[in-house]
Amino acid sequence: MEDFRRSYLRLCKEGGIDTQESVLAQLQDTRTVTGSCRLDLRGQSITVDTCSVLGRVLQNDAVFTEILLSDCMLSEEGVKLLLNGLCSNTTVKVLDLKGNNMRGTGAEALGQLLVRNKILRRLVLEWNALGMWEEGFAVFCEGLASNTSLSQLDLRNNQINHQGAAELCLALKRTSTLQELDLRWNNIGLLGGRSILEAMQQNRALIKLEMAGNNIPSDTLRAIEQSMNHNADRQSTLRESRSRTQVLSKEIQLLKDEKSRQFLSMMETIDRQKDEMGRSSRNSSIRLGQLQEVLSEQKSSVNSLTAKLQMTEAALALSEQKAHDLGELLTRVKMEKAELRDRQSREIKKEQEDLAGKEQVKVAEVSRVRVELQEQIGHLQAERTAQGGLKEKIAALEREMKVLSTAHREALLDKESEISSLLERLRIREGEIQRIREDEAQRASFLQNAILTYVQGSPLAHFSPKK
């Protein structure tokens, strides 16, 4: 606030302009109010020179959000200089120019302000004479049509006739931000009322329009009020739709986060299972190496047994490779299907726990086979001198190895079949999610069509003014 006051004094001194003590006193009072953002000069008689200085100071001011200049006896030139300064201001949202008898020049300056200023929200112009000057009021209406920030406009007691109302209606057809307009106590009349009613068939933003004291028939006023009600209902529907969209977006984000956490947990479980399988495979390789050293003296029999063991190792390595490939495939599927619901995630987790149990059964089976092999090798060492008996036992071991290898392959095939079944379920659930999205999109389309049908089918949609 003090910076504003110093700038005002400096510019007055540089321009050789006498400072107005009443303005300085008001600035001093404003400075002493903690946290104030309002420049209140209501009722002060402000000269043209003071308006010029204030306009220059307000160009770059970043403090005041409200400027109150009602009943200040502003001249046309003073209004023009003040409004020119506000054109580049980026903080003032409320401007009150009530009771300053503004006419053609003031209306044109207001039009330029509305074209260039992108921050003003509320403009009070009550008790002026803007409607008396058709050309100036047309410029004002053109600025209003191009403005994208103003939401409240007060034009009470501005001597606006039916021609001025027609210009104002052209602006109402183009503006999409003005929500409240006060036109009480003007001279709009029957023709102007019909023009406004026609404009309301195209305007969808205005939700409050005051028209008392304009000699407009009651049926026209009721029709205008119905248009306001339709706009209010439409705005309420749009706000509700936006609110629902935000809620749905939050729920979807929560689902995504939950699915991500569940996916990470599942991947950690898979990694642990892979590590256990790797350790089991390494232990198996070590034990098989020990068996080869023990049976190295019996080359013919041991070579055959070693070959079969190597085949088993190859099968285990192939199983590990398949498990790794399936893990990568599950990772890609999981990244693409991040929007699956909690219920589906719990089912997948449960099925994977079933898979973990089967994997443990398989590990136990392999351990049992190894114990049996150790026992049979012990028998072979005990009967080394009996070649005939050793050959028969080796043959028996070969048969058992075939049976065990066959059982192991069948177990691997079962596991692959179960994983394929899981992938098929994932595809089915993806289809279900896609159908849900299509249903949601269809319901949204039905809602939009219903709104359009309601708007187009209302009595106002076919209304045309009587000639």
Each domain of the chain, given as residue ranges in start order, spans 2-244, 256-456
Strand order in the sheet with 94-96: 38-40, 66-68, 94-96, 122-124, 152-154, 180-182, 208-210
pTM of the model: 0.56
Q: Is 140 exposed, middle or buried (0-12, 13-18, 19+ CB in 10 A)?
A: buried
- Determine contact, residues 26/55, Cβ cutoff 8 Å: no
Structural tokens at position 19: 């400072």
Q: What angle do helix axes 218-294 and 299-336 make, rounded to 10 degrees?
A: 170
Classify 103 in phi/psi space as left (phi over 0), alpha (psi -120 to 50) or beta.
beta
Nearest CA among 302, 467, 271, 276 for reference residue 376: 302
CA distance 30 to 10: 18
CA distance 352 to 341: 17
Buried/exposed 192-222: b ≥16 CB within 10 Å, e otherwise: bbbbbbbbbeebeebbebebeebebeeebbe
Q: Strands (DSSP E) along 69-142, which ranges?
A: 94-96, 122-124
pLDDT in tens, the chain (467 residues): 788 899 999 999 999 999 999 898 888 876 444 445 899 999 999 999 999 999 999 999 998 999 999 999 999 999 999 999 999 999 999 999 999 999 999 999 999 999 999 999 999 999 999 999 999 999 999 999 999 999 999 999 999 999 999 999 999 999 999 999 999 999 999 999 999 999 999 999 999 999 999 999 999 999 999 999 999 999 899 888 888 888 888 888 888 888 888 888 888 888 888 888 888 778 878 877 777 788 777 777 657 777 777 887 787 788 778 878 877 887 776 777 778 778 877 887 887 788 777 778 778 877 887 888 888 888 878 877 777 776 777 788 888 888 887 888 888 888 888 888 888 888 898 888 888 888 888 988 888 888 888 888 766 545 444 43
CATH superfamily, domain 2-244, is Ribonuclease Inhibitor (3.80.10.10)
